[in-house]
Structure 1
Amino acid sequence: MSSTKSRGARDEHVVEPPEDLHEMLELARFLENHSAPAVLLGPDGEQIPLPVPAYEVLRRVVSAMERGASVSVEPIDKQLTTQQAADLLGISRNTLVRLLDEHELPFERFGQSRHRRLRLRDVLAYRDRKRADRRSRLDELTRQAQEDGLYDVGPEAYREALAEARKS
């Protein structure tokens, strides 16, 4: 499941949350209060047990939509075009192609085609690595700032230091 970042151009597999979230909130509360899978009830009264993996996907989808996020449930081995992968990562296609050329992300070519395809699992793994790296760097910067006592300095001292830095 991936949540999309903006309400601009959409893929046909993306489902937008409803405008009125009341029903989604009710469903989310119901799922939170029931840990065991339920049954599906057809319009003709036929019932079928909901398998645990499908139930877990439903819980995640409802949770995301309850928060107003759009969702897409895709097979993890789905192949993406370079544009789709770039959109998912929130970068330009040219930046993605550079990453491919630098072997930052694995890709496949079929036959003599120039077109590259990426696996969704690889794109998501790259995104997660980059997020963890950014988090780690921010933690390190925060630690250094604390060691240097920068959190003890008032805003006026920051303004003065910034003005001094701009002069030089």
Structure 2
Amino acid sequence: MSTASVRTRDPLVVDPPSDLSEMLELGRFLEHHTAPALLLGPDGEQIPLPMVAYDVLRQVVSAMERGEAVSVEPIDRQLTTQQAATLLGISRSTLIRLLDEHELPFERFGESRHRRLRLHDVLAYRDRKRTDRRSRLDELTRQAEEDGLYDVDADVYKEALAQARKHS
């Protein structure tokens, strides 16, 4: 089976293989088999794969088929501020500002000045922000349609934009 490259920014995130043919074949196999399979060891030993592990495998394969990177981790895993910032795709200083503004919960242990965030809190924040961005984009699109902006010729729009930039 092809090996996936591990991202340097987070060693726990695995990119899908560059050649997806084997992943697609595995995905088709899993689609047609709803009961857990057997895990075969290199020595020929077999053990039934528990349904929970089988479901996780199906989700991982499905994500990789779509070209998505995956990470399977305990939801209560604690992250450093740098790990959380990387997961959110923001700078560490921006994350610190968000922590100071109480946008995300964090913990400190004892007298340590280092902050730790729970993975589920970071994922919940990311999901809230995605939902908020989608909502705002939908509203902007609705307003643009109402104002007839989609009916404007691209050249007219570019000229208006150039004029607005000159006067600002």
Task: Assess same fold via TM > 0.5.
Answer: yes
- RMSD, aligned CA: 1.8
**Highest RCO, 1 vs 2 (Cα 8 Å, sep ≥ 6):** 1
| Paired position in structure 1 for 2:3 | none
Task: Give the Cα–Cα distance (whole angstroms) in 2 for the partners of residues 53 and 71 of structure 1.
Answer: 17
Contact 2:39 2:49 in 1 (8 A): yes
Runs of at least 4 residues of structure 1 off by over 6 A? none
TM-score normalized with structure 1 length? 0.87
Task: Give the Cα–Cα distance (whole angstroms) in 1 for the partners of residues 10 and 20 of structure 2.
Answer: 22
User: 1:39, CA displacement in angstroms?
Assistant: 2.5
| Paired position in structure 2 for 1:120 | 119
- For residue 96 of structure 1, what is the amino acid of its counterpart? L
Which ranges in structure 1 are unaligned for 5 or more consecutive residues?
1-6
Task: Give the Cα–Cα distance (whole angstroms) in 2 for the partners of residues 25 and 154 of structure 1.
Answer: 43
| Paired position in structure 2 for 1:4 | none
| Paired position in structure 2 for 1:88 | 87
Task: Give the Cα–Cα distance (whole angstroms) in 2 for the partners of residues 162 and 66 of structure 1.
Answer: 41
Q: Which moved more, 1:97-106 or 1:39-48?
A: 39-48
**Percentage identity across aligned positions?**
80
Q: Number of residue pairs matched?
A: 162
- For residue 88 of structure 2, what is the amino acid of its counterpart? L
The C-alpha deviation readout for 1:36-84, integer Å capped at 9, x for no partner, is 3222233444433322221111011112222333321100000000000
Contact 2:106 2:115 in 1 (8 A): yes
TM-score normalized with structure 2 length? 0.87
Query: SS state of the match for residue 80, structure 1?
Result: strand
* 1:6-85 equivalences in 2 (<5 Å): 9-85=8-84
Query: SS state of the match for residue 14, structure 1?
Result: coil
Contact 2:105 2:117 in 1 (8 A): yes
Task: Give the Cα–Cα distance (whole angstroms) in 2 for the partners of residues 14 and 143 of structure 1.
Answer: 37
User: 1:8, CA displacement in angstroms?
Assistant: 5.4
| Paired position in structure 1 for 2:143 | 144
Task: Give the Cα–Cα distance (whole angstroms) in 1 for the partners of residues 17 and 165 of structure 2.
Answer: 49
- For residue 98 of structure 1, what is the amino acid of its counterpart? R
Which ranges in structure 2 are unaligned for 5 or more consecutive residues?
1-5
Query: SS state of the match for residue 110, structure 2?
Result: coil
Relative distance call for 1:159 and 1:115 in structure 2 (3 A) is same
Query: SS state of the match for residue 72, structure 1?
Result: coil
- For residue 99 of structure 1, what is the amino acid of its counterpart? L
Contact 2:7 2:14 in 1 (8 A): no
